[in-house]
């Protein structure tokens, strides 16, 4: 079945440095790739998404890149801040509303002072 692999499972970076989280997906028909951030005690919240007709998307310190040929996509956070500490989930889905979204297992990001 469809699968999304996410790496690393844990990531520690110095405040101000960049963080990169990578995901690969198995379903070549996937064309929507959202990223969610889950803070302690809360449910995941969408932070950025990308569709298959776009190779890169940026929103302030956050950017996502997509390589459809290789079936992988990445989240880049620059100039990391303490409030970036959280668990991040990547996901993949198709356009069809009857297809479920598949999540990666998450990356716990620690921003070190």
Partner 1 sequence: KAGVTQTPRYLIKTRGQQVTLSCSPISGHRSVSWYQQTPGQGLQFLFEYFSETQRNKGNFPGRFSGRQFSNSRSEMNVSTLELGDSALYLCASSLGSSGQETQYFGPGTRLLVL
Name the token pair of 109: 């990001």
- Report if residue 94 touches partner 1, rule: CB under 8 A: yes
Report how far residue 98's alpha carbon sits from residue 18's, in angstroms, rounded to the nearest whole number: 37
- Report if residue 34 touches partner 1, rule: CB under 8 A: yes
Report how far residue 106's alpha carbon sits from residue 31's, in angstroms, rounded to the nearest whole number: 20
Q: List the one residue from 36, 66, 75, 111 that touches partner 1 (CB under 8 A).
A: 36
Span 41-70, contacts to partner 1 by CB under 8 A: 41-46, 49, 51
Choose the binding region for partner 1 from 20-28, 61-69, 75-83, 87-95 (rule: CB under 8 A): 87-95
- Report if residue 83 touches partner 1, rule: CB under 8 A: no
- Give the shortest CB-74-to-partner 1 separation in angstroms: 18
**Residue 79 CB neighbour total at 10 angstroms:** 11
Listed in sequence order, the residues at least 6 apart from 63 whose beta carbon sits closer than 8 Å to its beta carbon are 48, 56, 57, 75, 76, 78
Instruction: Report whether 92 contacts 29 (CB < 8 A).
Output: no
- Give the shortest CB-48-to-partner 1 separation in angstroms: 11
Q: Which residues bind partner 1 (CB under 8 A)?
A: 6, 9, 31-32, 34, 36, 41-46, 49, 51, 89, 93-106
């Amino acid at each position: 079945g469809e699968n999304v692999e996410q790496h690393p499972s844990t990531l520690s970076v110095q405040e101000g440095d960049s963080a990169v989280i990578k995901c690969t997906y198995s379903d070549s028909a996937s064309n929507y790739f959202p990223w969610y951030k889950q803070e302690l005690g809360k449910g995941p919240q969408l932070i950025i998404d990308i569709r298959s007709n776009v190779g890169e998307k940026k929103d302030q310190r956050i950017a996502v890149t997509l390589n459809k040929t290789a079936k992988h996509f990445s989240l880049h956070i620059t100039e990391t801040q303490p409030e970036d500490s959280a668990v991040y989930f990547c996901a993949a889905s198709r356009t069809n509303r009857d297809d479920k979204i598949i999540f990666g297992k998450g990356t716990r990001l620690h921003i070190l002072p």
